[in-house]
Amino acid sequence: MSEIYDVVPRPPMPNLPGGVVLRESPDELIDAMIADLLVHASGCVRAFGDFHLALSGGSTPEPFYRRLMYDPACREFPWKRTHLWIVDERRVPFEDDRSNYKMIRETIVVHSDIPAEQVHPMRATEPDADEVYERALREVLEWREKGHDRLDYVLLGMGTDGHTASLFPHSPALDARDRLIAINAGPTVTPPDRVTMTFPLLNASRFIGVMVTGSGKRATLTKIAARQVGPREMPILGIRPLAGELRWYIDEAACPIPDSAGDGTSTGSANVGGR
């Protein structure tokens, strides 16, 4: 007797600005992210002699960071040639559990062979933290040839409100045009105050990855795919690389799936193959 199998349709690729990597599970998504990161890192080291990597905090990328430390595929990662930058930071001490650098330090820095002088934490509690970090970026990157003096790989996340880095909807740092780093504070910023990379710095990067996982982000991605809002309402839409690549890394749970009414808000499951 032949067996009958239910065929679960795959969700269509979401219409997001930039390229999309869609995988069924977070683990499979991390496999793809590692492969891409290794290609970019090795390519930059060959071309420029070093690799400038900027990482975000939060719970979403933490499994990715852990995998970088134990996955056999990552044994050849060029940590000794890597400069590690922090995308954004809360204005709290490094010992505070809310510190992005604390998580990145405990997950990556202490377990890799990256030289201490190539790790660049944001000392966000200092009154001039934005100016100090911007000066450090300029001083380190100016050793490269003109046109290559930019970040090589930036990993961003996205909140349910569409914020990325510490660029929140309607917050002051959205308007920074002549600064690479800005302090973001005020009623539209989720406390505590932040220090963050700005759109001009992020959009000048060679490669920007946005990692989005979990069903809680599906409604936000649906709005982005439908172009229902702009960057002030949803700052992730302000990520528009000038001469680089934007790539979304999305798991099945976060992917918008059009329902029978066509409004793209279905929460049904789908079997997403390797894309």
**CA 25/CA 271 separation, integer angstroms:** 10
- pLDDT tens figures, 119-173: 999 999 999 999 999 999 999 999 888 878 899 999 999 999 999 999 999 999 9
Please measure the distance between the N-terminal and C-terminal CA atoms of the chain and give it in whole angstroms: 34
Among 165, 153, 150, smallest CA distance to 236 is for: 165
Q: Order of strands, edge to edge, in the sheet holding 88-90?
A: 88-90, 194-197, 181-184
Radius of gyration of the chain, Cα coordinates, nearest whole angstrom: 19
pLDDT at residue 270 tops 90: no
Tell me what percent of the residues of the chain surpass a pLDDT of 70: 89
Partnered with residue 119 across adjacent β-strands are: 84
Question: Quick one: pLDDT band at residue 247, thresholds 50, 70, 90?
Answer: very high
**CA 121/CA 137 separation, integer angstroms:** 11
Tell me what percent of the residues of the chain surpass a pLDDT of 90: 83
Token pair listed for 81: 């040639």
Among 44, 15, 11, 17, smallest CA distance to 210 is for: 17
What is the model's pLDDT at position 256? 84
- pLDDT tens figures, 10-46: 677 888 999 999 999 999 999 999 999 999 999 999 9
**CA 218/CA 267 separation, integer angstroms:** 8
Q: Is 83 helix (H, G, I), strand (E, B) or coil?
A: strand
Q: In the chain, where do the E strands start and end?
A: 19-23, 51-55, 82-86, 88-90, 119-120, 153-156, 181-184, 194-197, 207-212, 245-251
| DSSP H helices in 120-227 | 129-141, 199-203, 218-225
Backbone angles phi, psi at 266, to 5 degrees: -60, 145
Whether the pTM exceeds 0.85: the reply is yes
What is the model's pLDDT at position 273? 36
What is the model's pLDDT at position 8? 55
Domains of the chain: 24-254 (3.40.50.1360)
Token pair listed for 91: 């204005």
